[in-house]
Amino acid sequence: MSAIISVEHLRKSYGATVAVEDVSFEVYEGEIFGIIGPNGAGKTTTVETLQGLRDPDSGQLRVLGLDPVTQAQELRQQIGSQLQEASLPDRLRVGEALDLFASFSKHPLDRDTLLRQWGLTERSDTAYGDLSGGQRQRLFIALAFVNDPKVVFLDELTQGLDPQARRGTWDLIREIRSQGKTVVLVTHFMDEAEELCDRIAIIDRGKVVALDTPQNLIHGLDLPTRVRFTAPDGVGLEFLLAIDEVTAVERHGAQVVVEGTGAVLALVAARLVEHGIVPVDLRAERPTLENVFLALTGRSVRE
């Protein structure tokens, strides 16, 4: 696979504050590449330097073969962007916003096509201030697509959205990739990154602390699976400790938590049935990206 974005030893500081200390990664053509980490980790600064919005202190950057520092104007004709603090004047209408952004592009896409593609046709004459959260996000994506970009940067696209609008926005991001675009998705929501991204860079304190596919990151640390179920008080469960894959059994009243590795869910279920225990709420809680983050950094994602 060819690298469409290359970052080597990026560093950026603001006075005495180091926002990005040493970040390196590549993004491949046609993938959704996630950049995750807590607030203040350096995520937004990294993508802003890639778009030519900030000059790095040091490091080598290439986006579509262009240098964001010396070729920023040329680069912006080929990328789309939705910034973290994106907003528009409340009285600006949807169609007017698209026309405004199109005026800055050498080869803009047709406005009606964009409205139809992103489900905004019926909102063309609606003022920005009257749009719902989900409609605003669709508008920002449409604006990012006005110049038919090859790479799209999306920074905290779903922050502040309700669960329904958030899931709808995920579908839009998948639609972007299905059109052959490369997506760089910045988020601090671990479930979002796990659901959408082909590969992920975890950034903490201005450094990349891990980079791989979501599943490889999760499986690579060999974190335990937790099996949860309820069992009547007084029922002994010591026999579960005889399962090689089980590492711990804890009981809190009727709630039982079994930790283990491998096919621990199937093995625990089989052993419970052997002993005449058939819990209706037996379930596995597998490791997530948030567990990976905590294991790597020792602090909460949203701290």
Taking only the tens place, the pLDDT of each residue in 4-37 is 999 999 999 999 999 999 999 999 999 999 999 8
Note the pLDDT of residue 302: 46
> Tokens standing for 185?
């998705």
Q: Where are the beta strands (DSSP E) in the chain?
A: 3-14, 17-28, 32-36, 58-63, 79-82, 151-155, 182-187, 199-204, 207-212, 225-230, 246-252, 255-260, 283-285
Final residue in a domain of this structure, among 219, 241, 261: 219
Residue 301 has pLDDT above 70, yes or no: no
Residue 64 lies in a domain: yes
Q: Tens digits of per-residue pLDDT, 253-263?
A: 899 999 998 89
Amino acid symbol at 185? L
Q: Tens digits of per-residue pLDDT, 203-218?
A: 988 999 999 999 999 8
Residue 283, SS3? strand
Residue 164 lies in a domain: yes
Number of domains in the chain: 2
Q: Are residues 124 and 17 in the same domain?
A: yes
Q: What percentage of residues in the chain have a pLDDT greater than 70?
A: 97
Residue 289 has pLDDT above 70, yes or no: yes
Report which of 76, 77, 78, 22 is spatially closest to residue 45, judged by C-alpha positions: 22
pTM of the model: 0.83
Note the pLDDT of residue 243: 96
Residue 6, SS3? strand
The answer to whether 137 and 129 have CB atoms below 8 angstroms apart is no
Q: Tens digits of per-residue pLDDT, 233-270?
A: 888 999 999 999 999 999 998 999 999 988 999 999 99
Residue 72 lies in a domain: yes
Residue 303 has pLDDT above 50, yes or no: no
Q: Are residues 191 and 129 in the same domain?
A: yes
Q: Are residues 132 and 245 in the same domain?
A: no
Final residue in a domain of this structure, among 189, 204, 219: 219
Query: What H or E segment, with its residue span, contains residue 214?
Result: helix 214-220
Q: Are residues 175 and 230 in the same domain?
A: no
Q: Tens digits of per-residue pLDDT, 135-188?
A: 888 898 899 889 999 999 998 888 777 888 888 889 888 988 898 899 999 988
Supply the CATH number for residue 40's domain: 3.40.50.300
Residue 84 has pLDDT above 80, yes or no: no
Note the pLDDT of residue 300: 53
Buried b (16+ CB within 10 A) or exposed e, 86-113: bebeeeebbbbbbeebbeeeeebbebee
| pLDDT (average), residues 64-92 | 90
Supply the CATH number for residue 261's domain: 3.30.70.980
Residue 74 has pLDDT above 60, yes or no: yes
Report which of 110, 173, 88 is spatially closest to residue 138, judged by C-alpha positions: 173
User: What is the extent of the structural domain holding 263?
Assistant: 224-286
Residue 234 lies in a domain: yes
| pLDDT (average), residues 120-144 | 91
Q: Are residues 64 and 190 in the same domain?
A: yes
Residue 2 has pLDDT above 50, yes or no: yes
Q: How far apart are CA 165 and CA 169, in angstroms?
A: 6
Residue 294 has pLDDT above 90, yes or no: no
- CB neighbourhood size of 261 (10 A): 13
